[in-house]
Amino acid sequence: MERTFKTFIIPVFFLIILIVSFFMCNDSVLSVFKKNELQAIRKGYNKDYIAFTCNVDWGTEYIPSMLEIFEKHDVKITFFVSGRWSKNNPQMLKKINDMGHEIGNHGYGHRMHSKIGLEGNREEIVKTHNIVKDIIKKDMLYFAPPAGDYNDTTLKAANEFGYKTILWNIDTIDWRKDSTRDKIIKRVLNKPLEGSIVLMHPKEETIKALDYLIKTIKERNIKVGRVSDVLKTLD
């Protein structure tokens, strides 16, 4: 009886280990269980594109120069705008939209969304949504929390209003005073580019880097585009 029990239990034990290992190591299997979980998106799936995103809560004086460079290269990107900036700069926002760029929600007052609770998140998102929609006459699809600060409550609030939460996997860190043109270029081009989401802001050194970045990325047979371009396979 004892030998029969051991003969039975040992194969079962190893079978359990095998099954557990398979589920832990296989991302496609894990994704089945995670498909209903809300998650922030850091990178896209369309390898033909790289998405440029520009978070706007300040730096209005630099935006016209950015738009000129994008127009020169026939590039459309995603601008994530705050509600307070949009309220104070409706004509600039309308111009960005009219030039074919994608507009995303960046919250109203550039607050840390992990610290303001569900109602605070809802207020920041919907207030900005209404202001921007009143100006450009269209809904937004994507929400970028300021400083990339978020938690599950943020994801829930964004999802309630039909938003996908967007982060990035390449950061220019252009907001820092020591960020020069060359540093910004290296921070982008030294990373895998296909399907990536790049974070930038309206800054002087960013403007200096844009022309070279776009030319070099195109030479690598990658298109520079919007968040919706790198997420096309999700739609």
Are 76 and 30 members of one domain? no
Using one digit for the tens of pLDDT, what is the confidence trace for 94-131?
999 999 999 999 999 999 999 999 999 999 999 999 99
E-strand ranges in the chain read 49-56, 78-81, 102-105, 142-143, 164-165, 170-171, 197-200, 223-225
Are 7 and 123 members of one domain? no
Are 26 and 70 members of one domain? no
| Angular region, 107: left φ>0, alpha ψ -120 to 50, beta rest | left
Indicate whether 19 pLDDT > 60: no
Q: What is the pLDDT of residue 29?
A: 36
Q: How many domains are there within the chain?
A: 2
Indicate whether 8 pLDDT > 90: no
Using one digit for the tens of pLDDT, what is the confidence trace for 24-50?
444 433 333 344 579 999 999 999 999
Provide the 3-class DSSP secondary structure of residue 181: helix
Query: Do the domain assignments include residue 174?
Result: yes
**Taking a C-beta distance cutoff of 8 angstroms, is the pair 184, 206 a contact?**
yes
- Measured at the alpha carbon of residue 83, what is the angle toward residues 230 and 142, in degrees to the nearest 5? 20
Instruction: Give mean pLDDT, residues 180-199.
Output: 98
Instruction: Provide the CATH number for the domain around residue 178.
Output: 3.20.20.370
Q: How long is the chain?
A: 235
Query: Do the domain assignments include residue 170?
Result: yes
Indicate whether 11 pLDDT > 60: no
Are 12 and 56 members of one domain? no
